[in-house]
Amino acid sequence: MTSSRTIASPFNLLPVALTGALCALGFGPVFGGWPGYLAAGGGVLLGLVLAWISAGRWGVALTTAAGIIIYIAFVGVLALPDTTIAGFLPSLETVQRGTLLVVQSWRDLLTVAVPAGVFSGPAVVPMLSALICSTAAGRLALTRRWYALAGVPMLVLLLVAILWGTSRAPLGGWIGFGFVIVLLGWIVIRQAHDRAVAHELSGFDTPRARSWTRLLSAALVLAVSAGVAVMVSPMITGADRVVLRRFVEPPLDLRNYASPLMSYRYLEVDQKLVTQFTVHGLPEGSRLRLATLDTYDGVVYNVAADSAEFVRAGADIEPRRTSEDQASAMTMQVSIDGYRGVWLPGGGDLRGVTFNGANAADQTKTLYYNEGTGTALVTAGLEQGDDYQVQIVTPPPVDRATLADHGIEDVSVPSTERVPDAVLKKTAEIVAGAATSVDQVLAIEKALQEGYYSDGSDGQSMSGHSEARIESLLSLPEMVGDDEQYAVAMGLMLDQLGIPSRVVLGFYPSDGSVVPQRWEALGTDAHVWVEVPFNDLGWVSFDPTPDRDRRPETTVPKPNPKPRPQVQPPPVPPQEPPEAPMQLSDDESDQDDGWQIPWEVIKAIAAALGIGALAASPFLLIAALRGRRRRLRREAELPADRLSGGWAEIVDTATDLGIRVDALQTRREQASELAASVPDADIDRLAAAIDYGVFGDGTPREAYIDQIWATTALAASTMRASAGRWRRLAYFATPVSLARPAISGPLEKPQPIIRRLLGRKP
């Protein structure tokens, strides 16, 4: 049998279903469409069914147990389809993973690449949160007193969709606006329905004019809420929308993986004629990237762990930024042969990676991608026989003659450590005549190309790029090395000049030929180059390594058969030591700008305050309307009305605290019933004093009225303090007395709410 505190009408679940559908739309962008809609929408539907069954019949414990059973039964269908039996029956793996993901899925959704629908597990977040919130909201919506609080759990669900979503929310503003309209519209309709039922039972007829005042009241509330939503919506729907994934540290620990640059000499010499992989569809003039390196510690050039935003990736990768100058994505097929490692050949501006080999399942689960550097990593590793497709966007060709017109872009890169002294000296020597930063980059590239190439097979070049190796490269009379040393040297030089740069390891034909449609990349095709960011062009490649046919002289010169007598040369006159001007940059980027305003922190705090203000706006509106009503009563024109207004405050306080007050009773009768509920408020004496002032001889003095209002404030405070904890909290969110204001005097006609708040007389 349904409890008297609940309303057995499915209409009361309709607003929960509508707001739940809006919240489900909020999960769409982060999951790439239907996986988010299915998980969130299914959770809302299951929660409504559970609320309908349990409301008024089951307690919290039994409802929670039923919710756990429903979650286990449907988590496979909605969030873990790859673990089910026949596509819908939960298996043992479903139960195990579903239990763990109750905790882990919240982290997983923040650390995988968007869209997250290609991964198994993150969909537990929308399903579980929708199930819990819709169940709580449905049970509240079916109550007779607390139905207005049903919007609170749904607001929590909406916040989950926002905070665990992405910065791109094309429907964010419409979802928020529809959410507010549905909730407020339902509350207005529900209150009108409850009043009609109460009036029908009591036989009291409401004048037609009050329906217009209620309509104006609803319009006022909607206008205020819409104004708050307009002010806050740019923070939660714009390009700088604050989401949690921006502040979550990725779980991948790059310290577990050696720098790919350490294997360059092995590829160059030991694997020289060994096919590393076969590539189909590499665009003409493109380079196959393996890894991008952006930090140096004196031992090795590596990927900076604190700047490498590696996130889980899959068959679809949504870019954070789009470029109108870039062509559409194309497909490139890569088949692994002799290559071994975790760094994925084929990086760049990726749009997705699909594995097809025997280890496809493990490789898909362990694929990470750094969009900032275009580096992809597979922790499961790559070996012979692996095969995959890469969806990649290739940048347009760059005309190097126009680099000076664009200028170098100011990009933040990690700092370097333990830079050899020879780097500073050689840099000053090379850029002495360069006027701009672009000229400095070109001068360094050209100067290093004048060195000699050696892969170490002739004993002329040691491997590695440590501090000592770079020191020897730049300090000896002749520079001898390979791509590894020259690229690292150029990267360190640019860093000393304050020019952002990074070192890239990849592949392209060593003989300079055009890449065929089917290209077998050999070990000798491995290269290292340097990239520098330019405005409107992106990262532009520079090759400081000399041509491979530019070898150092290794033959011993023959002695002259007729040597000439040596003549002692005259002494060299003393000269002033040349001053090598260090033109670090054409701007003042190296100067200390002092304390910088933390705009990101300020934006995050402002967004949090905005969201909090939006959530608190209904409560603030209720408090403002109560204050306005209290002031109008206190400043009424007639003294008797001011005294009656004090009693009306007592009745309204009791109404919002859930204490029933009969409007047809006299003040003494009302006080007698209220005293039984709140004995400490001394309401009997207050009612008697107000009756004495209203019905007594003469006009009450202002001092007497002030005392009545002081006693009224104390009594109202005592009433709130004597209520239970939850009832006290609910008092601040209960607008019942605003819609049904107390009668100012016994058997007097109540004034409409809008007219009273505007200070107009009936």
Mean pLDDT of 578-596: 47
Exposure of 514 by Cβ count < 10 A (0-12 exposed, 13-18 middle, 19+ buried)? exposed
Is pTM beyond 0.75 here? Answer: no
The Cβ of residue 132 has, within 10 Å, a number of other Cβ atoms equal to 20
Q: Is pLDDT above 70 for 363?
A: yes
pLDDT higher than threshold 70 for residue 89: yes
Q: Show the domains of the chain with their CATH numbers.
A: 10-167+240-246 (no CATH), 254-397 (no CATH), 401-510+527-542 (3.10.620.30), 605-757 (no CATH)
pLDDT over threshold 60, residue 339: yes
- Higher-pLDDT residue of 619 and 438 is 438
What's the confidence (pLDDT) of residue 570? 54
Confidence of residue 223 (pLDDT cuts 50, 70, 90): low
- Contact yes or no for 93/83 (Cβ under 8 A): yes
Judged against a pLDDT cut of 80, whether residue 124 lies above it is answered with yes
pLDDT digits (tens, 9 = 90+) for 622-664: 888 888 888 888 888 888 888 888 888 888 888 888 888 887 7
Helix or strand or coil: residue 332?
strand
The pLDDT score that the predictor gives to residue 507 is 95
Query: What residues have CB less than 8 Å from 311, skipping those under 6 apart?
Result: 111, 112, 113, 250, 368, 369, 370
Q: Residue 516 and residue 282: Cα distance in Å, rounded?
A: 8
- Going from the C-alpha of 105 to that of each of 189, 391, 393, the distances in angstroms are 38, 27, 31
Q: What mean pLDDT comes out for the span 44-49?
A: 92
Looking at residue 500, its pLDDT comes to: 94
Write the pLDDT tens digit of every residue in 34-43: 888 999 999 9
Mean predicted confidence (pLDDT) in 405-410: 92
pLDDT value, residue 694: 84
* Residue whose C-alpha is closest to residue 38's, from 137, 116, 106, 97: 116
Q: What is the pLDDT of residues 461-486, one digit of tens each?
A: 899 999 999 999 999 999 999 999 99
> Given a cut of 60, is residue 761 above it in pLDDT?
no
Q: How deeply is 560 buried, as exposed, middle or buried, from its count of CB atoms within 10 A (0-12, 13-18, 19+)?
A: exposed
- Work out the mean pLDDT of the chain and round it to a whole number: 80
| Mean pLDDT, range 154-173, rounded to an integer | 81
pLDDT of residue 230: 54
pLDDT at 669: 84
Mean pLDDT within 242-246: 70
- Name the pLDDT band for 603 (thresholds 50, 70, 90): low
CA–CA distance, 145 with 727 (Å, rounded to integer) = 11
Quote the CA–CA distance of 41 and 16 in Å, as a whole number: 12
Which H or E element spans position 390?
strand 387-393
The two counts, helices (H) then strands (E), for the chain are: 24, 17
Question: Residue 592 above 50 pLDDT?
Answer: no
Q: What is the pLDDT of residues 532-572, one digit of tens each?
A: 999 999 999 999 999 999 988 765 445 455 545 444 455 55
Alpha-carbon distances of 426 from 418, 421, 454, 468, rounded to whole Å: 16, 9, 20, 15
Residue 4 in this model has a pLDDT that exceeds 50: no
φ, ψ for residue 757, nearest 5 deg:
-70, -30
Who has greater pLDDT, 322 or 727? 727
Q: Is the pLDDT of residue 588 over 70?
A: no
How far lies 30's CA from each of 92, 126, 135, 245, 319, in Å?
28, 11, 24, 11, 12
When pLDDT is averaged across residues 441-458 and rounded to a whole number, the result is: 93
- Interatomic CA distance for residues 183 and 151, integer angstroms: 7
Which one, of 124, 190, 125, lies nearest residue 151 by Cα?
190
pLDDT at 493 over 80: yes
Residue 520 pLDDT level (bands cut at 50, 70, 90): very high
pLDDT tens profile 167-207? 777 777 778 778 878 877 777 777 776 666 665 655 545 44
Contacts of 168 (CB under 8 A, 6+ apart): 29, 241, 318
How high is the pLDDT of residue 336? Answer: 95
Least confident of 1-15, 132-146, 353-367, 652-666: 1-15
Q: Is the pLDDT of residue 370 over 60?
A: yes
Pairwise CA distance, residues 387 & 194, whole Å: 66
Give the rounded distance of the alpha carbon of 556 from its chain centre. Answer: 66
Residues 259-293 have pLDDT tens digits of: 899 999 999 999 999 999 999 988 887 899 999 99
pLDDT of 752: 44
Mean pLDDT of 584-608: 57
Distances (CA, A) of 203 to 58, 195, 200, 736: 35, 12, 5, 20
Predicted confidence at residue 546, as pLDDT, reads 95
pLDDT of residue 226: 59
> What pLDDT, on the 0 to 100 scale, is given for residue 131?
94
Query: Is the per-residue pLDDT at 492 higher than 90?
Result: yes
Using one digit for the tens of pLDDT, what is the confidence trace for 675-727?
Answer: 887 877 778 888 888 888 888 777 888 888 888 888 888 888 888 888 877 77
Name which residue leads in pLDDT, 334 or 57.
334
On whether the CB atoms of residues 350 and 374 are closer than 8 A, the answer is: yes
In this prediction, residue 290 carries a pLDDT of 93
- Across the range 136-151, mean pLDDT stands at 82
